[in-house]
Structure 1
Amino acid sequence: MSHYGYVSEQLLTGRLWPPRRRRPKPEPEPPRLDVDRMRSHFDFAGTGRVVTNNAATSQTPRELIELFRELSPRYESVHRGQSTASRRITEEFEESFDTIATWLNAPSRRCIATYRNTTEAINAVMYSLLTEFRDGDNVVTTLMEHNSNFVPWYALSREILPRLGRRVECRVVRFDHETGELDLDHLAELVDDRTKLVCVTGASNFLGTKPPLHRIRRIADESGYRRGDGRSGSLLLVDAAQLAPTSVIDVIALDVDYLAFSFHKVLAPFGVGVLYAREPLLQGSLPFLYGGDMIAEGRVSPDLVEYGDLPWKYAAGTPNVLGVIASAQALRLLVDLALDPDEPWFGTARPLPRTHVESAMTLVSSHVRSLTDAALRRALAIPGVQVYGPGPDVSRSPLVAFTVRGRDSRQVASALDEHRVEARAGCHCATLAHLDLKLNPPASCRLSFAAYTSHEDVDRAFTALERVVGAR
């Protein structure tokens, strides 16, 4: 130590001065969806329309409409063609299945079948399993289902299998009228060792409820049902028509056996639905439709017909080639619109990273949740308005369904349309839930949101509703 002494030396080196106070760094704001940039890709945004019927169908961005024109020079059928156009369109068509598989986190394209919509995909499951039901089996579904996830099972148990001399029951689970939540205790009571299949919505198109799929999976697993392959537990089918447009979907994490959704709710044009199924189920089940492209090349004789490899075993006839390509590109475009990457994924065949899908859909999910919470608070504050389903600050589908005391719901929707607010009124194909709530007529008015919905849209919609009901 020098002759200055310890304190003097510390002062000279500055080590005894109190540390400089630093202002805490502000927490970085979480990333948000750039809704204005997203809306610039849609023609409806410049018309003054308040598009709030997105639970029925979404709007289509210009790029997807233009894609059909770009595909027209190589318009051809897929598979087995020798022309350059046929080979190229086949490659794009098959790559589309890879994109869809990535978006769902499915193991491969072999788990993906395409149909016209969610309804047809669910019917495909019903017909594929038709011959596997044993006398005394049951199917469990719920009162909050879209008709498409109830009527096929009703028909199976009441109309189809009775003609084959087989007795199968369709059981229906209750929901809480106050909270809109599925009664899981009732579900557990109805599921037993003869429950072959549990069918449940991933998100209600009326109540907005998102049932806890992990808990439902556990109840299905514990049923004790003995499958033909020797495994134990009930199969689980999820209607993801309302879940897919604004949520991260991971079929491996959800551990579902079947999952179905429609692309016309995910920015794409009408005409394409998807069925995900575990590969062993698709491999072992009978097809829904027969003929055409689902047959192995040259493998037809009077005594033997062999089916094609997966997923083409479930692609009877000529598929909706352009629709499938455009639908898969819609997923790529949605990632671009949400993340604004330096190199767009739309219009390419580059493998789409799963991490990008999750990041994009997390932004979308956060955005629509903030819209829905704001909408619910506005609706709950309007005298005479009865809102159905879970309230704010709960994970739910991005919609608000309501009735107005003393007013017919269809009249309310028509009055909103005069303010250029496009609501929808009726039972929304959720007939069971409307009847269970004793709504007479069985109808409600619904405002539903999408990734491109703005907070201004929500404000305009509920300002219009306040005027319609005379609260403003």
Structure 2
Amino acid sequence: MGHHYGYVSERLISGGLLPQRRRERRPDATAAVPAIEGLDVEAMRSHFDFPATGRIVTNNAATTQTPRELVDLYRRLTPWYEGVHRGQSTASQRMTERFEESYDTIATWINAPSRRTIATYRNTTEAINAVMYSLLTEFRDGDNVVTTLVEHNSNFVPWYALAREVLPRFGRSVECRVARFDHDTGQLDVDHLAGLVDSRTKLVCVSGASNFLGSKPPLGRIRAIAHAGGYLQPTGERGSLLLVDAAQLAPTTLIDVQELGVDYLAFSFHKMLAPFGVGVLYARGPLLERSLPFLYGGDMVAEGKVGPDRVEYGELPWKFAAGTPNVLGVIASAQALRLLADLALAEDPPRFESRSPLCRADVVAAMNRVNSHVAGLTDRALARTGGIPGLHTYGPPAGVVRSPLLAFTVRGTDPRDLAAALDEQGVEARAGCHCASLAHRDLGLDVGTCRLSFAAYTNNHDVDRAVDALAAIVRRG
């Protein structure tokens, strides 16, 4: 089954659409330099259709644009469209092979031990809910979950519901504790979090990067705090489990789940160039082995192992893949990772649509370039917005490690009016609480903030257009 039936454009194979390797010093925040540390942004942008429309896309923290190769991939897969795992046809076997290879690519991207530790869902939210439901029966009276005020609603509401709505119906009392953050810097108060973790803390849930404040908590230190709590897990292991919401971390930051020592990590591909519909849950193998599934039926059942008095589940990772999966979406999502590596690096042969395993060293090099590029864009935006009268930016200042976004308010102006005025200038910002309701409420920002957020394909011109438009709007009052 080694036949390669995909199509790769001649321009991509020849390297005509790939950036040239180059080494450059990182410029100052306002210098007009189109590329940073070897990332040729203009070559990358040539793979997307949105630049031709004149759009200034600065809502990338919500969702990214999709390169045309991935849209075309759906068309090229459809002649062999078929279900996976159960079919005897050549089409089914081909699709199964491509589908399963996608799990290997995803595992390599985050340095997971194998595909057995990867489960796919519709998005980050569903992946986090899967953890909640899989652990539901393990909570004991007096246990607690620790999360934070900087979380996206998706990493707070499930734990709130668990403690306040679900488990009380079973007569079980579990507490949801919430760590605070520094209002000036946007940084998580790790000392406060440490004070909330005790021997009854089953799980610690934190965001790897805030989608509002931009802050990135020290995951290594949090891992140590969770481990030191001493909670006795059903396996006999001591220490709280650690779940990281990586929805904002994964798109522009290198992730190594083994180095981080996380128990669970979730992210969505629609923030990583792929079309909507696929999220990932990484979990340590032993946890998945003993955990109950979130969804039951269909492909998660072992072949022929269902009887009136006994049901056996399939091997990992398919134990957590009930029903017919989003086959094309998973394949396209994994190919989005391969294409991103191609666009960030100049080395041949192309990784996109290659049947060869993805090289972890390529992932490291590609993501280091992407991270350096978006850090420069963010510093540039922070430096330029700093001169706009009445504008206040939330989160860490320029030069501090943060996710590539800035959320801000302008004195006397509704953030939604700012976003609407920016849209009239062709700049697609976003206003509201960004599903970070806890932090906005804690800061007294009931009407929310306006946010600009950047991606690997964002260039200096996009940043300058956005900031210039913002400055002009503020001047007009």
Name the TM-score class by shorter chain. over 0.9
- Structure 1 residue 28: Cα displacement: 6.2
1:247 counterpart = 2:253: yes
How many residues align? The count is 445
Supply the distance in 2 between the matched residues of 1:341 and 1:83 (Cα, whole angstroms). 37
- Corresponding residue for 1:124? 130
2:9 maps to none
The letter of the residue matching 2:387 is: A
TM-score using structure 1 length: 0.93
Letter in 2 for 1:466: A
Which of residues 298, 312, 330 is equivalent to 1:292? 298
- Please give the alpha-carbon distance, in whole angstroms, between the structure 1 residues aligned to 2:212 and 2:476: 24
For 1:202-281, what aligned pairs fall within 5 Å after superposition?
Answer: 202-281=208-287
Q: Give the alignment of 1:80-229 within 5 angstroms.
A: 80-229=86-235
* Aligned-partner SS, 1:268: coil
Name 1:303's counterpart in structure 2.
Answer: 309
Displacement over 6 Å in runs of 4+: none
**Cα shift at 1:342:** 1.8
Post-superposition shift, 1:340? Answer: 2.6
CA distance in 1, matches of 2:380, 2:281: 33
What is the CA-CA distance between 1:45 and the residue it aligns to?
1.2
8 Å CA contact 2:119, 2:320 repeated in 1: yes
1:364 aligns with 2:385: no
**From 390, 396, 403, the counterpart of 1:397:** 403
SS in 2 for 1:245: coil
Equivalent pair of 1:382/1:471 in contact (CA under 8 Å): no
- CA distance in structure 1 between the aligned counterparts of 2:156 and 2:82, rounded to whole angstroms: 38
Q: Which runs of 5+ in 1 are unaligned?
A: 1-26
One-letter amino acid of the structure 1 residue matched with residue 351 of structure 2: W
Residue pairs, 1:25-40, within 5 angstroms: 29=24, 31-40=37-46
Q: Give the TM-score, by structure 2 length.
A: 0.92
Amino acid at match of 1:289: L
In the alignment, is residue 77 of structure 1 matched against residue 83 of structure 2? Answer: yes
Match of 2:72 in 1: 66
- Larger gyration radius, structure 1 or structure 2: 1
RMSD: 1.1
Shift of 1:98: 0.1
Cα distance in 2 for partners of 1:217, 1:122 equals 18
- Residue identity in the other structure for 1:361: M
Say if 1:221 and 1:233, in contact at 8 Å, map to a contact too.
yes
1:174-222 Cα shifts (integer Å, max 9, x gaps): 0000010000110011000000000000000000000000000010010
User: Secondary structure, in 3 states, of the residue corresponding to 1:210?
Assistant: coil
Within the candidate set 320, 324, 331, 2:326 is matched to 320
CA deviation vs aligned residue, 1:230-271 (integer Å, no higher than 9, x gap): 111100000000000001000001100000000000000000
One of 382, 385, 388 as aligned partner of 2:388 = 382
Letter in 1 for 2:75: R
- Letter of the aligned partner of 2:194 in structure 1? A
Tell me if the contact between 1:174 and 1:186 (Cα under 8 Å) persists in the aligned partners.
yes
| One-letter code aligned to 1:147 | N
Contact 2:213 2:394 (C-alpha < 8 Å) held by counterparts: yes
1:160 aligns to what SS in structure 2? helix
SS across alignment from 1:246? coil
Rounded to whole Å, the distance in 1 between the matches of 2:68 and 2:359 is 24
**What letter corresponds to residue 459 of structure 1 in structure 2?**
D
Following TM superposition, by how much is the alpha carbon of 1:332 offset from its aligned partner in structure 2, in angstroms? 0.2
Among 438, 461, 474, the alignment partner of 1:469 is: 474
Q: Partner letter of residue 457 of structure 1?
A: D
Partners of 1:32 and 1:433 lie apart in 2 by 36
Q: Aligned letter for 2:231?
A: Y
Task: Give the aligned residue type for 1:446.
Answer: R
The answer to whether structure 1 residue 341 and structure 2 residue 347 are counterparts is yes
Determine helix, strand or coil for the equivalent of 2:100.
helix
SS at match of 1:347: coil
Question: Counterpart amino acid of 2:146?
Answer: V
Aligned-partner SS, 2:251: helix
Q: Is the 8 A contact 2:432 2:449 kept in 1?
A: yes
Q: Name the residue aligned to 1:448.
A: 453
Query: How far off its partner does 1:341 sit?
Result: 2.4
Rounded Cα–Cα distance in structure 2 between residues aligned with 1:201 and 1:436: 17
CA contact (8 A) 1:383 1:471 kept: no
- How far apart, in 2, do the equivalents of 1:325 and 1:268 lie? 10
CA drift at 1:343:
1.1
1:25-49 deviation digits (Å, cap 9, x = unpaired): xx96464200010000000011111
**What amino acid does structure 1 have at the position aligned with 2:43?**
R
Contact 2:64 2:272 in 1 (8 A): yes
What is the deviation of 1:440? 3.2
> Residue 470 of structure 1 aligns to a residue in which SS?
helix
From the superposition, tell whether residues 28 and 363 of structure 1 become closer, same or farther in structure 2 (CA, over 3 Å). Answer: closer
List runs of 5+ in structure 2 lacking aligned partners: 1-21, 26-36
CA contact (8 A) 1:157 1:167 kept: yes
* In 2, Cα distance between equivalents of 1:440 and 1:217: 32
Q: CA deviation at 1:416?
A: 0.2
Task: Specify the alignment match of 2:379 in structure 1.
Answer: 373
Report SS of the residue matched to 1:271: coil
